[in-house]
């Protein structure tokens, strides 16, 4: 099992990565000195598919564990679910020393993390991501939150986990389109990091989609190490962390406009394509690089389909993005692999034009 340290000034924690690492939970909790009452907030499908191994692992650990099952939908990433978690903690007389364990994808991790951030002004929580997307991205970095009034992640807080355990065996039951969502965030890391990792991803798209153990382990560990370094430098996203939002301003708007039929990771690929076109409109990227990067993104054009898009609606949703300053949308754009610009304003006409050009591929 691999161990990656995330060294945030306010909090240091370990990410354990490997096959069957979930079974090691009792030993890891001991090593990490994490004890108290545990509330497990678990995805309904994961609870059904893995009930035996989950029961066995908790019994073996001999812990006081209560379990709350949540159906993972963007609609349920809500105040109602937050209240359910807080009520469960209160009903079970859980105090400040209690710990929430999130077992599921990014939806579970985000809500359970926010519940931990807000219960008794903050209790510990553990991330056990079960999707590729949550493993490469959302389980590390401490962004937690819920959706509200048709706006993604608009209510939330920064609250770092105390521990992350990534068991790649969970992906065996992951539907193909969810694996593709994970690949969406991996593609983002390809643009953010360096040519070597970008080319590795490009060469291994099929192996990633087919959950090849060696390739998956490499892309998770590279992505997390990169994200860890960025979050260590800028936990609260006042500077360099904004890079991680590449494609996301567009993506969140597409998700809402498409009524969440377009999943987050797939929307990220569409969003990066829009960012690429906008980078070209603003002459930030060379023609040669634009063609090379677009060619890569087009590998996904048959795999991602979006329903008819109203570009003004997408633009208006983007105007509500929490990253905007003085009512101006701030874009993250591509100059080259590993050279990304943040806080770039753009003319409405250019943005709409970029959306127009990008959506024709999906
Ligand atoms: N906090 C962050 O930094 C951050 C970063 C990226 C994304 N996010 C958020 O993450 C969410 C998306 O996360 P996600 O893609 O993991 O989606 P998800 O949590 O909705 O899970 C996707 C689907 O897979 C199912 N599932 C989960 N694990 C499974 C398994 N092992 N086998 C079979 N089915 C399984 C779930 O029931 C669900 O239907 C979005 O809400 C997004 O906003 C947060």
Q: Are residues 58 and 168 in the same domain?
A: yes
Residue 87 is part of a domain; what is its CATH number? 3.40.50.1970
Q: Are residues 229 and 116 in the same domain?
A: no
| pTM score, whole prediction | 0.94
Q: How far is the CA of 353 from the centre of ligand 1 (A)?
A: 31
The model's confidence at residue 328, banded by pLDDT at 50, 70 and 90, is confident
Q: Are residues 132 and 260 in the same domain?
A: no
Report the domain count for the chain: 2
Give per-residue burial for 6-38: e unless 16+ CB within 10 Å, then b: bebeeeebbbbbbeebbbbbeebbeeeebeebb
Q: Are residues 107 and 35 in the same domain?
A: yes
Protein residue with least CA distance to atom 44, ligand 1: 138
Closest CA to 113 of 90, 91, 80, 138: 138
Q: Is the pLDDT of residue 326 over 80?
A: no
Residue-wise pLDDT for 87-111, tens only, equals 999 999 999 999 999 999 999 999 9
177: Cα separation from own chain's centroid: 15
Q: Are residues 194 and 132 in the same domain?
A: no
Protein residue with least CA distance to atom 36, ligand 1: 72
Q: Is the pLDDT of residue 44 over 90?
A: yes
Contact 46 CB / ligand 1 (< 6 Å) = yes
Q: Which of 157, 172, 187 is the last residue of a domain?
A: 172
**What is the mean predicted confidence (pLDDT) over 207-228?**
97
Q: Is the pLDDT of residue 323 over 80?
A: no
Q: Which of 43, 44, 136, 241 to mutate to test the pocket of ligand 1 (most atoms within 8 A of CB)?
A: 43
Domain that residue 129 falls in: 2-172
Contact 107 CB / ligand 1 (< 6 Å) = yes
Q: Are residues 284 and 307 in the same domain?
A: yes
Q: Are residues 198 and 276 in the same domain?
A: yes
Q: Which two tokens stand for residue 72?
A: 């993972």
Q: Are residues 155 and 107 in the same domain?
A: yes
Q: Are residues 156 and 227 in the same domain?
A: no
| First vs last C-alpha separation in the chain | 38
Which pLDDT score is estimated for 260? 87
Q: How far is the CA of 134 from the centre of ligand 1 (A)?
A: 6
Residue 266 is part of a domain; what is its CATH number? 1.20.1090.10
Looking from the CA of 49 toward its CB, the CA atoms found within 13 Å total: 15
Protein residue with least CA distance to atom 7, ligand 1: 138
Contact 262 CB / ligand 1 (< 6 Å) = no
Q: 314 and 329 in contact (C-beta within 8 Å)? A: no
Q: Are residues 165 and 190 in the same domain?
A: no
Q: Is the pLDDT of residue 30 over 80?
A: yes
Which pLDDT score is estimated for 325? 75
Q: Which of 150, 172, 194 is the last residue of a domain?
A: 172
Please tell me whether residue 111 adopts helix, strand or coil conformation: helix
Q: 355 and 309 in contact (C-beta within 8 Å)? A: yes
Percent of the chain with pLDDT over 70: 100
Return d(Cα 127, Cα 104) in angstroms, integer: 8
Mean residue pLDDT across the chain:
95
Contact 141 CB / ligand 1 (< 6 Å) = yes
Residue-wise pLDDT for 179-202, tens only, equals 999 999 999 999 999 999 999 999
Q: Is the pLDDT of residue 45 over 80?
A: yes
Residue-wise pLDDT for 102-137, tens only, equals 999 999 999 999 999 999 999 999 999 999 999 999
Q: Which of 41, 74, 107, 226 to mutate to test the pocket of ligand 1 (most atoms within 8 A of CB)?
A: 107
Q: Are residues 145 and 14 in the same domain?
A: yes
Contact 265 CB / ligand 1 (< 6 Å) = yes
Q: Are residues 143 and 267 in the same domain?
A: no
């Amino acid at each position: 099992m691999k161990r990656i340290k995330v060294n945030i000034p306010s909090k240091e924690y370990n990410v354990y990565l490997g096959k069957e690492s979930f079974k090691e939970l009792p030993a890891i909790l001991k090593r990490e000195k994490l004890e108290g009452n545990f509330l497990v907030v678990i995805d309904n499908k994961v609870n059904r598919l893995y009930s035996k191994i989950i029961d066995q692992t908790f019994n073996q650990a001999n812990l006081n564990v209560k379990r709350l099952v949540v159906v993972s939908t963007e609609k349920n990433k809500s105040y109602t679910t937050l209240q359910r978690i807080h009520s469960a903690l209160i009903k079970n007389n859980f105090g400040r020393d209690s710990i929430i364990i999130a077992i599921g994808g990014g939806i579970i991790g985000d809500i359970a993390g926010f519940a931990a951030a807000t219960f008794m002004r903050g209790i510990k929580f553990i991330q056990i991501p079960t999707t590729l997307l949550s493993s490469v991205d959302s389980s590390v970095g401490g962004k937690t939150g819920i959706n509200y009034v048709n706006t993604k992640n608009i209510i939330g807080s920064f609250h770092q986990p105390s521990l992350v355990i990534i068991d790649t065996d969970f992906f065996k039951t992951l539907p193909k389109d969810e694996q593709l969502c994970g690949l969406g965030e991996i593609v983002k890391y390809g643009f953010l990091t360096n040519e070597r990792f970008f080319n590795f991803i490009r060469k291994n798209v099929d192996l990633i989609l087919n959950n090849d153990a060696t390739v998956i382990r490499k892309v998770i560990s590279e992505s997390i190490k990169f994200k860890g370094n960025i979050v260590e430098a800028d936990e609260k996203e006042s500077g360099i962390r904004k890079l991680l939002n590449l494609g996301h301003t567009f993506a969140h708007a597409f998700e809402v406009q498409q009524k969440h039929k377009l999943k987050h990771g797939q929307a990220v690929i569409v969003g990066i394509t829009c960012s690429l076109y906008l980078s070209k409109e603003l002459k930030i990227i060379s023609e040669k690089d634009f063609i090379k990067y677009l060619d890569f993104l087009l590998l996904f054009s048959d795999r991602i389909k979006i329903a008819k898009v109203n570009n003004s609606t997408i633009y208006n949703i983007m105007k509500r993005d929490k990253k905007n300053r003085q009512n101006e949308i701030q874009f993250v754009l591509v100059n080259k692999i590993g050279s990304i610009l943040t806080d770039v304003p753009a003319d409405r006409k250019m943005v709409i034009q970029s959306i127009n050009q990008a959506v024709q591929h999906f």
